[in-house]
Amino acid sequence: MKSYDPFDFPRPIGLGVATAPTQIEGFETQNSWYDWAKIPGKIADGSTPSVADRHWTDFRENIELMDQMGIRYYRLGLEWSRIEPEEGHFDKSALDRYREELKLLSERGIRPLVTLHHFSNPSWFERRGAFLSDGATEVFLRYVRYIVSEISDLCDEYITINEPNVYAVNGYLYGIWPPGEKSLSKALRVMNRLAICHLQAVLAIREIYKDRPVQIGYANHFRIFHSSSGRTGLQARLIRYLFQDGLTRFMTTGRPSFPFGTFSGMKPGTYCDFVGVNYYTRSKMKGFRELPVPASKPRNDLGWEIYPDGIRLLANKYHDLYGLPVWITENGTADRDDRFRSEYLYDHLREIALHCPSVERYYHWTFIDNFEWAEGETARFGLVANHFQTQERTIRKSGQFYSGIIRNNGASAELISEYIIPWTNKQNI
């Protein structure tokens, strides 16, 4: 029988929330995701990111809610297509709007961690072949230099690129995201190019900050890969290397290993100030095939296994490998009816509190229900529920639980008895 002991965080930890611009802002139609969502059949419910949570106009209301919940760390993204709507032309009004948001965060004492690229590209960049096109690194760096120079007085923490592996695999290998290609060699080339963009962006940002402190990393999607036997077999190891380990080594140290980064010309060094870990689930493999998660296991609304041990295994592994602090840049679950999110939070945060001394930050994915890429508005990851038609926002019970954890620096017996219902009382899991 599982026990629910109270716990405290024995070391300081920043507990926050994460979002991405395409998923919440709305009112932007000149990017790859809006173009993709308009193609019939690409998004589960036929929705597009054109309205989402109206965060572009309603950001004050959302930040007010964050403040009410006691959230003091916020990972937010900037939409490249707004900032550079035409190649080489920067839109001052978009910059001003982002500056306003960053200023409001600072007034409320909420520390921003800014993501520069989170899956979506300006339509003009996508049309020219995105990261596979000639000169793509320079084009990306021009955007990075512009925006970072313009906000460096309001922010000193950055994620260069979100999940280069997922962007490459979904868009170029499985073809389920833009641009819908199915080619392993292209997927590997895209990962390589994104890695080089990250490495160069780190140098560019450090140059902008000169002697001022700045923390930079990227957010990788890390999974646990187990063979069906529960161990990590040969094929699972190969997939793990191609999907996450080889890329992480290159992007963290500038040292390439086949098939990444050969002839990149990058000098070995430290290209991350923290290891950014986005963690959701474990993949059980039979050979090279991923097995469905049996109904007897805890699963979320998308059928992803809930496997809290994974957060400990990954955080400790990457800390030991690179000697850097770990920031959990995303962790969360799709739970439309909020039946198990509180328990999910409890289990993952407990692992961190008791077993992961290197974890300095934890950003829950996500603050508010959003446009969940190919799943559209069907998958609900928010601590805050949003009714997309009326835009009515309600803090879920799990949001109240997280808020309690932040205020108590841990999960007290009172919080546990108020918010956690044991798995055994739940149905359909």
Query: Please, are residues 271 and 205 in contact by the beta-carbon 8 Å criterion?
Result: no
Q: Which of 31, 81, 121, 162 binds ligand BGC (CB under 6 A)?
A: 162
Nearer to ligand BGC, 124 or 363 (CB): 363
Q: Which of 35, 273, 330, 335 binds ligand BGC (CB under 6 A)?
A: 330
State the minimum distance, in angstroms, from the CB of residue 172 to ligand BGC.
Answer: 16
State the minimum distance, in angstroms, from the CB of residue 93 to ligand BGC.
Answer: 26
Does residue 20 bind ligand BGC (CB under 6 A)?
A: yes
Q: How many CB atoms lie within 10 A of CB 253?
A: 18
**Stretch binding ligand BGC (CB under 6 A), from 8-16, 161-169, 248-256, 338-346:** 161-169
Separation of CA 20 from chain center: 8
Q: How many CB atoms lie within 10 A of CB 333?
A: 25
The values of phi and psi at residue 63, to 5°, are -70, -35
Nearer to ligand BGC, 170 or 253 (CB): 170
Interaction pattern, residues 212-251, with ligand BGC; x per rule: CB under 6 A: ---------x------------------------------
Q: Which of 25, 28, 79, 163 binds ligand BGC (CB under 6 A)?
A: 163
Interaction pattern, residues 178-217, with ligand BGC; x per rule: CB under 6 A: ----------------------------------------
Does residue 324 bind ligand BGC (CB under 6 A)?
A: no
**Stretch binding ligand BGC (CB under 6 A), from 2-10, 81-89, 162-170, 349-357:** 162-170
Q: Which of 279, 363, 365, 367 binds ligand BGC (CB under 6 A)?
A: 365
How far apart are the C-alpha atoms of 139 and 136, rounded to whole Å?
Answer: 5
Q: Which of 95, 104, 166, 374 binds ligand BGC (CB under 6 A)?
A: 166
Nearer to ligand BGC, 221 or 415 (CB): 221
Q: Per CB under 6 A, which of residues 369..398 are in contact with ligand BGC?
A: 372, 381
In sequence order, which ranges of 15-91 are alpha helices (DSSP H)?
21-24, 32-37, 55-68, 80-83
State the minimum distance, in angstroms, from the CB of residue 163 to ligand BGC.
Answer: 5
Quick one: CA dihedral 136, 127, 162, 212, positive or negative?
Answer: positive
Nearer to ligand BGC, 273 or 330 (CB): 330
Strand runs (DSSP E) across 242-325, as ranges?
Answer: 275-286, 289-290
How far apart are the C-alpha atoms of 404 and 415, rounded to whole Å?
Answer: 7
Can you read off the two tokens belonging to residue 361? 């930050």
How far apart are the C-alpha atoms of 232 and 238, rounded to whole Å?
Answer: 10
Quickly tell me which residue has 């139609």 as its tokens. Answer: 29
Does residue 278 bind ligand BGC (CB under 6 A)?
A: yes
Residue 163: Cβ-neighbour burial (10 angstroms; 0-12, 13-18, 19+): buried
Query: Please, are residues 97 and 142 in contact by the beta-carbon 8 Å criterion?
Result: no
How far apart are the C-alpha atoms of 324 and 349, rounded to whole Å?
Answer: 20
Q: Per CB under 6 A, which of residues 122..151 are in contact with ligand BGC?
A: none
Strand partners, 376: none
Can you read off the two tokens belonging to residue 149? 């120079």
Query: Please, are residues 121 and 132 in contact by the beta-carbon 8 Å criterion?
Result: no
Q: How many residues bind ligand BGC (CB under 6 A)?
A: 10
| DSSP-derived secondary structure letter, 173 | I
Please tell me whether residue 116 adopts helix, strand or coil conformation. strand
Nearer to ligand BGC, 56 or 381 (CB): 381
State the minimum distance, in angstroms, from the CB of residue 11 to ligand BGC.
Answer: 26
State the minimum distance, in angstroms, from the CB of residue 424 to ligand BGC.
Answer: 27
State the minimum distance, in angstroms, from the CB of residue 109 to ligand BGC.
Answer: 26
Nearer to ligand BGC, 163 or 273 (CB): 163
Q: Which residue is nearest to ligand BGC (CB)?
A: 20
Query: Please, are residues 134 and 191 in contact by the beta-carbon 8 Å criterion?
Result: no
Query: Please, are residues 31 and 121 in contact by the beta-carbon 8 Å criterion?
Result: yes
Residues that bind ligand BGC (CB under 6 A): 20, 162-163, 166, 221, 278, 330, 365, 372, 381
